[in-house]
A and B are shown apart, each in its own frame.
Chain A
Amino acid sequence: MTGTPTYAAPTGIAEATALLTQAQDPAVLSGGTMLVPEMSHRTRRPDLVLDLRNARLSGVRVEADTLTIGAATTYRQVLDTTLPGGGAALAVLQTVARGITGGPQIRNRGTVGGSAAWANPSSDVPGLLVGLDATIRVDGAGGHRLIAAQDWVTGAFRTARAPAEILTGITAPTRPRHRFGYVKFKLAESSWPIVTATCLASPVGNVVLSVGGAFERPLRLSLAGVPADLPERELRTLLAEQIAAADPTPWTDVLADGAYRARISPVIAARAVQQALAKDPNSGEEPWTSN
């Protein structure tokens, strides 16, 4: 399309999905930190920009053992959340939010749902959601679908969402008694994540982790009964074997090629596991992240 796109800021899902159905090449706008620069550089030229700002899709809730994140919840809102009962899921989400690249200006605007929908391999959220065993809800004119995080990202910058659907919310088990680790590796502060690892460890050392950034799709791994004192080298070997067995499609960009990412993936993953296993779940300490 050649002209400027139509802009709409619907106040509800029904109105939004109806507009999407009528458009040829719509773009859903959440925080804008990815979509707007693409539009400025003419690499994305939608005929409709559907702004979610009035669609009442932001906010974090905890009900029973489920954490619900509205699609348009900003990282800032995640950080400002003081809900009890968010468990390891909220803690790791806050750790991620605190370390989002781009400074407070991006954390104030960027949204969890936006990042999930953008599905940049070099980003925090897609991998995080896999590590949380999250579920993603999309709404379309015909109703809604629930998609497991593992099935969400179908490739680099591709998701299971159809063009006329909107990502409306994300749920994840809170894991109140789990411990967590989150390690993000970047080349420098300016760089997008090269490899991320999210780890949730049950009280008996059953570990679920995800590796993001390294491959076109986030990778989910699990280890049963990992002792807290397992030497890092052994842990790394175990993880490397699992990663190799999964045979993921490597992700290469100008910052780091697939071989490099694959090589450091077990290192970063092992650090996340160690972080999780070392952390006292009852200490109430600040969520933390490290390179």
Chain B
Amino acid sequence: MSAPTTVRPAGPDGIIGRRSRKVGGDELLTGRVRYLDDHRPTGTLHAVVVRSDQAHARIDGIDATAARAMPGVQLVLDGRQAAELSGPIPYFIDPAARGGRRVDIRCLAVDTTVFVGQPVAAVVATTRAEAEAAAAAVRIRSTPLPHVLDAVEALRPDAPRVYDEWPDNVVFAKKYGIGDVDAALAAADVVVTEELHIARTTTAPMEPRGYLASWDPADETLTVHAACQNPHQMRWMLSASLGLDETRIRIVTTTVGGSFGLKMQGHPEETLIALLSQQLGRPVKWVEDRRECFMAGAREQVHRITVGATRDGRILGLRNAIVADTGALSAQPGWAMPNMSATTLPSGYAVQACDIQLQVVATNKPSLNAARGFGKDAAHFVMERIVDVLARRLGMDPAEIRRRNFVGPDEMPYRTSTGLNIDSGDFPGLLDKTLAALDYDALRERQRQARDQGRHLGIGLAFELTPESSDGPGTFVSGFDTTTVRMSVTGSVTVLTGVTTPGGGNDTGIAQIVAQELGVPIGTIRVIQGDTDQCPNGFGNFSGRSMVVGGGSAALAARDVRAKIVAVAARMLSVDPDDLDVDEGIVTSRTDPATTVPVAEVAITLLTRAFAIAKDIEPVLESTRAFMPGNIDHTPDEHGRIQPYPTYSSCLHGAVVEVDPDTGKVTLVDYVMTHDCGTMINPSLVEGQATGAIVMGLGTALSEQLVFDDDGALLSDRFKSYLLMRAGDLPELRMVHQVTPSPFTVHGNKGAGEAGIGGAQAAVANAVEDALSPFGVTVRRIPLTPPEVLRVLDEAAVVSS
């Protein structure tokens, strides 16, 4: 979007770096694709989940008599019955394996409910309307127990316990970082401390979750169509929770209408719907209602952060105590996100003395659910906020203080205090480009003039470092993935890959890579993802990994097939294999360009004349390869630190806002992001990811928050109470690219897709504080809704008086 308004036709397809149009775009545009709910096999029954209306309660009984008698009802299942038929759901990331606490996670609550909305029973009926009516007739008799809805309160010794068997509510606690922070802070000329709060928000893709399970009683196989990100992991989980052999389970990922972490698996309904289908011997479908979808919380954290710095702005040490509210535990990986808040600090700043204490705390709210940013976003909100607070204290320009503390391009790879090994990057370069795009000096002058007219313009900068493509030993967070490239007798190419796309378009990027590496037109390639019976073992979509390891493994497999094509073609053309090029489906001699043979002819030759011209060449036009990127290191160093990420994308945001101090309304005036994810396989896909993430970040900075009443019921349960950004909320978002290739991936690309959330939050918060600096405000909370901005102004007025 460096020239965002120019009309730009799609480039020639199929080459890395080009703006190839989205694969299958015509099917999306004409409504022909099938999302989960569009699959409607004959005889499908419909499930509705009955949920707890208590934040914490003992279940005394469930009365489904009336519900069972209602029209169309086929089955009502409660937690006790489900527990006899299914086992606990294995964790995506087991907290116990990381030294934390666990509880058994069941698809339906058995004796106790620990949040409003927890599944307690399921109703299956012939139609969804019948199931809804019957679900409303299920009576839950329960005895309320004391509940706690706030993580800081939940840490008090006398707080109600979410899980009776635990001595307190701490799920997980850990210290991160090395260096003598006490000494660093003692040596500092200035020390600043703030307590920063990030509200609970949610992913809210346009398509909610859904599953369609079909148990075939004749051959005892289970097929689950799912709107999900990790089909192989879902198969394993269902195998464990249902006690079925994995070979009897097939997961088919349907076209997914966005996910952003929501559809990483571990949800109770996955086991539940499969179980219901097993019980009934018929297909059972469950599609989440939007109100249910809003329960998937994320990002709710409190950070008490201190940094000390020299007079000239060099940060010497950082201390941060994090309290993260995970809600009730679930098998979904969401609870682990705050770990990444801790390890991502101190971001791309050269601060070698860090002491970060993390507590992940259970409360009687719905579970934390994986969300774009995966905790890294919070690190940036907090770090960028405290850097600005420090700059203000020192009277320094926020651009300058960042420049002084950045890890330099010549210091890469750089090991941070928490153990991350930043592969590459040019952070001052990002800053220069963003300042230039903003016309920073002129903007500061415009700000001064505006102030003279009583208008409050603010400028906020924020750096963001995004570790991507993570690997967690012993978990389903894997740093590698696997792809098969298979050429048929007619030369058409099927790519079967273990990564999935929730809509972002990595299938297009993978097709481009295969087209280039194999030398065939992109139109001859079909990418198949998400089907466990077709695709090789894989880990699906998360952590900006799909192009790094999905694309990387596709490249390796494509090279194998190309080598076979070249070997056969060399024999057909009687030339040396080293003399041959393959491009756009034609094998050509470099020394004699008139000597050519189409790839399709080579394919049919190998596969039909294997005992003739292709003798001694194994007649397989197929390769399955895994790509394991470099830079991952799980051997703990002398401080016990590991290095789970191969690549580190980086970006620098510049936000310009105007604040109305009479209403508290923040209006976005301008926005620039300079983005560096290394080599771009398809710049339009990168821009799409980054822009989407920025706007999600802007929403969480300004208007999005999940609000609960005192009894733990969610109040913000529709799009008029949980406010996503709309087109009219936004200025032109401008994007500038910088490319520092990763040395550790096949094409030098780094993860793209998560960068944007934390940087946007911080840039907006910094801009609002800058705009209101004449009032002496400090921004400590997001979202900065108009009422919150007035509260910040009031707070400053009290302090100054």
Contact = CB atoms under 8 A, between A and B. Distances in A.
Decide if A and B touch, CB cutoff 8 A.
yes
Interface of A: 2, 41-42, 101, 185, 187-192, 194, 253-257, 260, 263-264, 267-268, 291
A190 B663 contact: no
A256 B786 contact: yes
Interface string B689-707: 0000000000000110001
A188 B720 contact: no
Interface in B670-711: 702-703, 707
Contacts of B736: none
B136 interface: yes
A174 B726 CA distance: 35
A2 B66 CA distance: 12
Nearest to A232: B662
12 contacts: A2-B133, A42-B136, A187-B723, A188-B703, A188-B726, A190-B719, A191-B720, A192-B720, A254-B716, A255-B785, A260-B787, A260-B790
B724 A190 contact: yes
Contacts of A194: 786
Contacts of A268: 663
B312 interface: no
B629 to A, nearest CB: 40
Contacts of B702: 188
A188 B723 contact: yes
B290 to A, nearest CB: 10
A192 B703 CA distance: 13
A257 B663 contact: no
A187 B785 contact: yes
A101 B723 CA distance: 13
B729 interface: yes
Nearest to A2: B133
Contacts of A267: 662-663
Nearest to A195: B663
Given A253-B721, A254-B707, A267-B662, A190 B132 contact: no
B725 A188 contact: yes
B58 interface: no
B200 to A, nearest CB: 13
Interface in B655-672: 662-665
A255 B721 contact: yes
Given A187-B665, A189-B726, 6 more contacts: A101-B720, A187-B786, A189-B725, A255-B721, A264-B664, A268-B663
Nearest to A101: B720
A32 to B, nearest CB: 16
A268 B660 CA distance: 12
Nearest to A191: B723
Contacts of A188: 702-703, 723, 725-726, 729
Given A190-B724, A191-B720, A192-B720, A263 B132 contact: no
Contact of A291 (B665, B727, B785, B790): B665
A2 B785 CA distance: 41
Q: Name the residue among B133, B662, B719 with the largest chain A CB count within 10 angstroms.
A: B662
A180 to B, nearest CB: 21
Given A187-B723, A188-B702, A264-B663, A254 B715 contact: yes
A185 B665 contact: yes
Contacts of B727: 189
B774 interface: no
B311 to A, nearest CB: 41
Contact of A190 (B133, B707, B723): B723
Q: 10 closest Cβ contacts across the A-B interface?
A: A189-B726, A190-B723, A254-B715, A188-B703, A260-B787, A189-B728, A267-B662, A188-B723, A254-B721, A264-B663
A194 B664 CA distance: 13
B233 to A, nearest CB: 33
B132 A187 contact: no
A190 B703 contact: yes
A124 to B, nearest CB: 14
A256 B786 CA distance: 9
Nearest to B785: A187
A31 B785 CA distance: 31
Q: Which of A2, A41, A254, A264 has the most CB of B within 10 A?
A: A254
B662 A264 contact: yes
Contacts of B133: 2
A187 B716 contact: no
A282 to B, nearest CB: 30
Contacts of B726: 188-190
A286 to B, nearest CB: 17
Contact of B729 (A2, A101, A189, A256): A189
Contacts of A185: 663, 665
A291 B198 CA distance: 27
Nearest to B786: A187
Contacts of A187: 665, 703, 723, 785-786
Contacts of B707: 254
Contacts of B703: 187-188, 190-191
Interface in B405-438: none
A185 B721 CA distance: 15
A194 B787 CA distance: 11
B795 to A, nearest CB: 15
Instruction: From B136, B663, B725, name the one whose CB has the most chain A CB atoms within 10 angstroms.
Output: B663
Contacts of A192: 720
A150 B716 CA distance: 31
Contacts of B725: 188-190
Nearest to B289: A41
Determine which residue in B715, B720, B729, B790 has the highest number of CB atoms from chain A within 10 A of its CB, and name it.
B720
Contacts of B132: 42
A56 B136 CA distance: 38
A62 B787 CA distance: 41
Interface string B766-801: 000000000000000000011100100000000000
B292 to A, nearest CB: 12
A42 B786 CA distance: 32
Contacts of A42: 132, 136
Contacts of A253: 721
B665 A190 contact: no
Contacts of B664: 264
Interface string B711-744: 0000110011101111111000000000000000
**Among the interface residues A185, A188, A189, A260, which one has the most CB atoms of the partner chain B within 10 A?**
A188
Contacts of B786: 187, 194, 256, 260, 264
Contacts of A41: 291
A2 B662 CA distance: 49
Contacts of B291: 41
A148 B133 CA distance: 41
Most buried by A among B136, B725, B785: B785
Nearest to B708: A254
Contacts of A255: 721, 723, 785
Nearest to A270: B662
A231 to B, nearest CB: 13
Task: Output the residue of A189, A191, A255 with the most chain B CB within 10 A.
Answer: A255
A163 to B, nearest CB: 24
A188 B723 CA distance: 7
Interface centre among A42, A101, A260, A291 (most CB of B within 10 A): A260
Nearest to B291: A41
Nearest to A291: B665
Interface in B105-135: 132-133
A35 B703 CA distance: 26
A254 B721 CA distance: 7
B787 A256 contact: yes
Given A254-B715, A260-B787, A190 B720 contact: yes
Nearest to B707: A254
A64 to B, nearest CB: 39
A252 B761 CA distance: 27
A253 B723 CA distance: 14
A283 to B, nearest CB: 25
B792 to A, nearest CB: 13
A263 B724 contact: no
B401 to A, nearest CB: 31
